[in-house]
Amino acid sequence: MRTPRRSHPSSAETAGPVSDTLVVVGEAGEAWTALEALRFVPLLRVERVARPAWPDPSNAGTPLLYLLGRCAALPDTPAITGWLDRLAVTDSPPAALVLPRTESGWCALAAHPQCCGLLSAQPTLDVTEVERVVTAARRAQVRRWRRGRAPTGRLAWNFSTAEAADGERIWLLLASVLADLRGLDEELPRLGMAFTEALTNAVEHGNLELASSLKDEDDSMGRFYAERGRRLADPRYAARRVRVELQIREEYLQIRLRNQGPGFRPSDAVRTRFDLPHRLHPYGLGLRMIEGLVDEIEIAPDGRGMTLRSDLSPRPHRRAA
């Protein structure tokens, strides 16, 4: 019978078969500040090209999204529409357009099925709007996967600390994606419990820098959650992000979480959670619980990330933690 593996530092990340590349076509200088805000650990790899490369269906290295700025090769609405039509015919990734609000044909471009968003560059490009079109591009990516065999690949999200604080809501998002792509699996509830606990740790002990010792004081839980609320409202902590990466393979699911807190030494976490008696750490058993719910758990060397892996292949029932 296979038992969960002990926590250990993770190896270097490797790119999955699904591209996280965003291709900026033409001049879109207004986009760079917004894109930098989204490139966390990194969320996106950005490439710049002067003119659109016509899509090649035989090219497996397709990007996630095209972002079209001012481009001499596509000077007006009819030319842009023709490019979008060609993208649609070849089942290529969608495009978002950086245009001034005075652009003629705005509504026609917005209605094109290959367009996943129009971004106003006046006065500046809004980060939230860029994040919205990236999310739309990922939905299009999922739809393309569903038309083929059992999909494999990688999806990633970049959540604010406030968003990530609602762990159950974030898991519902991931679970809905998994259900659409792979159907229901008996391992999903266990993975969901492990993920929610890991995300809570990333938010509370990572981005918010809350010490577990707060729970050991008088009025422990009330004091802890009062301080949690204060830090969620503090821009110094609230501005931090949590990256969640979902990697899908035929045999397993893997979730990598990454926070922007100060980190900790993985060796200390392993020694505290697994070597000392339970009674000495009544609130510090999160890693022990996670280890009992998934097949593998890895902690990043800098203590700011965790990877969970759950096998999908049939195997004997595992022992509880």
Is residue 298 a contact partner of residue 9, using CB atoms and an 8 Å limit?
Answer: yes
Tens digit of pLDDT for each residue in 101-145? 555 667 788 889 899 888 877 667 777 788 788 888 877 876 766
Amino acid 148: pLDDT: 55
Tens digit of pLDDT for each residue in 9-51? 333 333 333 457 788 888 766 666 666 666 443 456 778 888 8
Q: What is the model's pTM?
A: 0.54
Q: Cβ neighbours of residue 1 under 8 Å, at least 6 residues apart?
A: 316, 318, 319
Cα–Cα–Cα angle for 318, 181, 20, rounded to 5 degrees: 105
Amino acid 219: pLDDT: 62
Kindly provide the residue ranges of all beta strands, DSSP E only, lying in the chain, ordered along the sequence: 8-9, 21-25, 45-49, 65-68, 95-99, 115-120, 153-160, 241-248, 252-259, 296-299, 305-311
Taking 70 as the threshold, does the pLDDT of residue 234 lie above it?
A: yes
Is residue 241 a contact partner of residue 260, using CB atoms and an 8 Å limit?
Answer: yes
54: tokens are: 């016509």
User: What is the rounded average pLDDT of the residues 49-75?
Assistant: 77
**Which one is predicted more confidently, 72 or 102?**
72
Tell me the average pLDDT of the chain.
76
Amino acid 93: pLDDT: 87
